[in-house]
Structure 1
Amino acid sequence: MTYKGYLIDLDGTIYLGNQSIDAGKRFVDRLKEKNIPFLFVTNNTTKTPEAVKNRLHDSFDIDVSDETIYTASLATVDYMKDKGLGNRVYVIGEEGLKEAIFSSGFILDEENPDYVVVALDTDLTYEKLAVATLAIQKGAHFIGTNPDKNIPTDRGLMPGAGSLIASIETSTQTSAAYIGKPEAVMMEKALDRLKLNKNDVMMVGDNYETDIRAGIDNDIDTLLVLTGFTKKEDIPTLPISPTQVINSLDEWQV
């Protein structure tokens, strides 16, 4: 089947931590050459789309525009705007998430926020967890930007946002509303940005739990590439098979 567009994961698919995946660059180059629209759909909330674009250029020699990058931070803002509970928010996260939220008209409130948003935060402290826990106990709407348990890096699998969110779910006995892959919120907004129907698009990624489930759960065809989180030995045990499985993006013809 020929697809009119692609939703593409970044970490583990286009690069691995600080290490280039050369087949990822060649895949993007083929899409650009054929004028096939694509959107990088990433659960990474630590960087702004501009920072992601610059990193792709400076570290991996991939030239794209800001408009090709849709982060869980942007999806979280879209979700809060749709929810319409107010504009006060407490955030556990890094600069990419905070800039997306506060530049969109939301204001910081540690005492009585309408929302508590939790994402990856490499400067996490007990006090941040305590503030979030108390706010949720008072009734703030609890948002987890993405469920990633781990992040694939050149050091190995590091703790992801899902690990932090799980600790607050435990302390509050409250389940978070998840935004990023594999949730419908992020996928529907991504399709809106591509201006394509789900039947015309393929989701490409390395992580079965997030990327591939994002496709499966939302009726989008999937391409699992074995360059990151999910390994070849995992394939026989997967509950629902991806549409396609490849070792390298060099194997995929667009």
Structure 2
Amino acid sequence: MSKARNIECWLTDMDGVLVHEEQALPGAAELIQRWVDTSKRFLVLTNNSLFTPRDLSARLKRSGLRIPQDNIWTSAMATGAFLKTQPGDKTAYVIGEAGLTFALHDAGFVLTDDDPDFVVLGETRTFSFEAITKAIRLISNGSRFIVTNPDTTGPSKDGLLPAAGAVAAMITAATNRQPYVVGKPNPMMFRSAMRRIEAHSETTAMIGDRMDTDIVAGMEAGLHTVLVLTGLTTEADVATYPFRPNQILNGVHELVDQI
């Protein structure tokens, strides 16, 4: 409990931690308000690269959570921040939606299919044979292959959907080129988020609902890790992993009084 009060900056996953099926989870609104009231620096993280921060802020508001767009950090934004540091021309062929194209434009990139330095794959609901073929040919000709997140499936009201990781596997099979994946569980995403809010690992915590992404990446980034059991991971699942989070809570409602 004293550890949580000493945390200066917070990173938190979105789905399974703050919201579930577009409904705010118990304690989520109160936790966000507590951070605001105590002037804590925080970011809401998501591997979803479909939406811009403004879009996500509006979607969260409909769920009952008022989170400013400046407090949202997506895998698309982390990808833009990473690519901005890479040498070479700032040119990319992109398969993705507005969240990714916005982030790359913000990072100073020109989007083109004419000999780009990078092929960048993110989430999209409009995958096409032509776009994937173009990506395969560009990568085979030397463009560097970047993927926003490794998730192979995503949720929907009708069941699972193929996600960026599944399409990346198909491109890898055709090109024999492995992509560099920026999003969780790559701790690169957490480090870029911490730079965004000028946080230090010694006084930053990560809240997540998955051991294999949120907790392992938080641990590797040197953060205080908090697992909540309102998402995909059960307490029994924790025993199957060789590492442990610093805290296990039934939900974020239990964290409110600890801050």
How many residue pairs match? The answer is 253
Instruction: Report the CA distance between 1:152 and its aligned residue.
Output: 4.4
Q: Is 1:22 matched up with 2:26?
A: yes
Partner in structure 2 of residue 4 of structure 1? 8
Q: Secondary structure at the match of 2:173?
A: helix
Assess if the C-alpha contact under 8 Å between 2:24 and 2:64 holds in 1.
no
| 1:249 paired residue among 244, 248, 252 | 252
Q: Is 1:220 matched up with 2:223?
A: yes
Instruction: Report the CA distance between 1:222 and its aligned residue.
Output: 0.8
RMSD: 1.8
In structure 2, what residue type is equivalent to 1:199?
E
Partner in structure 2 of residue 139 of structure 1? 142
Instruction: Report the CA distance between 1:158 and its aligned residue.
Output: 3.8
Instruction: Report the CA distance between 1:131 and its aligned residue.
Output: 1.0
Q: Unpaired segments of 5 or more residues in structure 2?
A: none
Partner Cα separation in structure 1 for residue 160 and residue 39 of structure 2: 34
Partner in structure 1 of residue 168 of structure 2? 165
Taking only the aligned residue pairs, the percentage that are identical comes to: 33
Comparing 4-13 with 23-32, greater Cα deviation is found at: 23-32
Partner in structure 2 of residue 76 of structure 1? 79
Assess if the C-alpha contact under 8 Å between 1:25 and 1:60 holds in 2.
no
Assess if the C-alpha contact under 8 Å between 1:17 and 1:152 holds in 2.
no
Instruction: Report the CA distance between 1:229 and its aligned residue.
Output: 2.3
Please give the residue correspondences for 1:46-85 in structure 2 after superposition, counting only pairs within 5 Å: 46-57=50-61, 59-85=62-88
Partner in structure 1 of residue 196 of structure 2? 193
Q: Is 1:116 matched up with 2:133?
A: no
Instruction: Report the CA distance between 1:224 and its aligned residue.
Output: 1.1
Partner in structure 2 of residue 97 of structure 1? 100
Assess if the C-alpha contact under 8 Å between 1:201 and 1:220 holds in 2.
yes
Partner Cα separation in structure 1 for residue 156 and residue 28 of structure 2: 16
In structure 2, what residue type is equivalent to 1:123?
T
Assess if the C-alpha contact under 8 Å between 2:26 and 2:251 holds in 1.
no
Partner in structure 1 of residue 43 of structure 2? 39
Partner deviation per Cα, 1:170-211 (whole Å, 9 max, x = no partner) = 221111111112213221111112212101011111122221
